[in-house]
């Protein structure tokens, strides 16, 4: 075998070390909010090295605090002015299926119609989603926590009262309503069939179909907020929560994927994502191994040529 072919095969073998087989979902953006330390409102943070994209988000100076404990949102403040917000341009790559995952808890009882994440294209808080693109997640009627729940809401393309509030997913009662509990909430979107599914702590809790109206995450051109709602159509408050992490995936996570991700916890490493079956950027140690192997092979080839 020629040295050039041997080198090519060796490099190919090295480059596949530590990389999982093809998965339906790929981690694109990952914020581990416990990893930034204390950051002042108005500042920009960048997503983790794990993930295909490096995405910036700007922290609000209103009712938003980022420390080593996570991203804390004060209850009762308008959701349009809180959280960490990504510009609409950062969503341009989400042209099809996607999945969103958030780990959070609340020190107090959740309030009715309080928002956790999302965005719309509403120019003002005009009280209607008609003519807008929108996707956000928030709590419903929390008068009775046993029957209250958190659920995603999306524009449905309809006009009048039918389209005013979009379509809200019917979710199992009591989902995510206990204070001082760490929750893992996942929402997936099948763009071909226009189907949203929701999972709480690895378990399926609801589904909804939007035949028309919502065109995808990339359609949220006014941005997307974690711990609030970018350009909201309504004046709802933000949920009073402490957010540990937030993950964005291209592709639809399967129920098995969701269960596996729940099992690795709120702040996984790149290797743990891959062990769970999710495509992610290799661990730094894997990249170091690839580099060391390549350098070693080049040295080997050079020595063989000198001896020839």
Q: Which of 197, 20, 25 is nearest to 98 (CA)?
A: 25
Is the model's pLDDT at 307 over the cut of 80? no
Q: Which residues on adjacent β-strands are paired with residue 245? A: 32, 103
Is the pLDDT at 283 greater than 50? The verdict is no
**Band (32; pLDDT cuts 50, 70, 90):** very high
Highest mean pLDDT among 100-114, 120-134, 138-152, 269-283: 120-134
Q: Is the pLDDT of residue 22 over 50?
A: no
* Strands 203-209, 170-171: pairing kind: antiparallel
pLDDT tens per residue across span 199-255: 999 999 999 999 999 999 999 999 999 999 999 999 999 999 999 999 999 999 999
Which is nearest to 47 in space by CA: 67, 73, 24, 27?
Answer: 27
Contact by Cβ (8 Å): 93, 118: no
Mean residue pLDDT across the chain: 87
Domain segments of the chain as ranges: 1-19+283-308, 23-281
What architecture is domain 23-281?
Sandwich (2.60)
Q: How many CB atoms lie within 10 A of CB 76?
A: 12
Distance CA 226, CA 162 (A): 27
Separation CA 255–CA 277 (nearest Å): 12
pTM, entire model: 0.85
The per-residue pLDDT for range 66-120, each reduced to its tens digit, is 999 999 999 989 999 999 999 999 999 999 999 999 999 987 788 999 999 999 9
Closest by alpha carbon to 208, among 167, 242, 248? 167
Q: Is the pLDDT of residue 42 over 90?
A: yes
- CA dist., res. 213 & res. 157, Å (int): 4
Question: Pseudo-torsion of CA 253, 197, 261, 108, nearest 10°?
Answer: 150
pLDDT in tens, 245-279: 999 999 999 999 999 999 999 999 999 999 999 99
């Amino acid at each position: 075998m020629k040295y050039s072919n041997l080198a090519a095969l060796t490099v190919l073998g090295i480059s596949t070390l530590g990389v999982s087989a093809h998965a339906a979902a790929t981690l694109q953006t990952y914020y581990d909010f416990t990893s930034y330390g204390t950051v002042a409102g108005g500042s920009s943070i960048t997503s983790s090295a794990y993930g295909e994209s490096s995405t910036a988000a700007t922290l609000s100076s209103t009712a938003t605090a980022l420390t080593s404990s996570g991203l804390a949102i004060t209850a009762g403040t308008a959701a349009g002015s809180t959280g960490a917000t990504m510009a609409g341009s950062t969503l341009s790559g989400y042209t099809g299926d996607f999945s969103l995952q958030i780990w959070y808890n609340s020190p107090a009882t959740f309030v009715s119609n309080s928002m956790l994440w999302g965005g719309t294209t509403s120019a003002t808080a005009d009280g209607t989603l008609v003519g807008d693109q929108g996707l956000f997640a928030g709590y419903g009627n929390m008068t009775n926590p046993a029957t209250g729940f958190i659920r995603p809401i999306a524009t449905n393309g309809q006009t009048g009262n039918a389209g005013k509030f979009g379509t809200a997913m019917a979710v199992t009662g009591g989902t995510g309503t206990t204070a001082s509990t760490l929750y893992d909430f996942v929402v997936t979107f099948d763009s071909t069939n226009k189907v949203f599914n929701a999972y709480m702590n690895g378990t399926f809790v609801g589904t909804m179909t939007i035949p028309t109206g919502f065109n995808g995450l990339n359609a949220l051109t006014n941005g997307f907020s974690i711990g609030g709602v970018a350009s909201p159509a309504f004046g709802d408050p933000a949920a009073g929560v402490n957010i540990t992490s937030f993950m964005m995936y291209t592709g639809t996570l399967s129920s098995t994927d969701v269960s596996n991700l729940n099992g690795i916890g709120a702040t996984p490493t790149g290797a743990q994502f891959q062990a769970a079956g999710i495509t992610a950027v290799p661990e730094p140690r894997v990249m170091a191994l690839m580099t060391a192997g390549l350098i070693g092979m080049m040295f080997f080839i050079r020595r063989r040529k000198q001896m020839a």
